[in-house]
Amino acid sequence: MRSRLISPVIERVMGSTLLATVGSEAGRAGDLLTTLAHELRSPLAAALYALAAMPDSANPDARRARMIAERQTARAARIIDDVFDVCAGCHGKLVLRQEIVDVSVIAERAIETVNHLMARSGHGLQVKRPPQPLLVLADPSRLEQVLTNLLSNAAKYTPPGGRISLTVGAEDKQIVLCIRDNGRGIEPHLLPRVFDLYSQGSRLAEQRTSGLGIGLALVKTLVELHGGHVSAFSDGPGTGAEFLVSLPAYRTGY
Residues 6+ apart with CB under 8 A from 227: 247, 248
* Distance between CA atoms of residues 25 and 18, nearest Å: 11
pTM exceeds 0.85, yes or no: no
How confident is the model over 108-126, as pLDDT tens digits? 999 998 998 899 999 999 9
At 44-67, the pLDDT tens digits run 778 877 887 888 877 888 888 887
For residue range 72-97, list pLDDT tens digits in order.
777 777 777 777 777 766 667 778 89
Report which DSSP code applies to 160. T
Bridge partner list, 233: 242
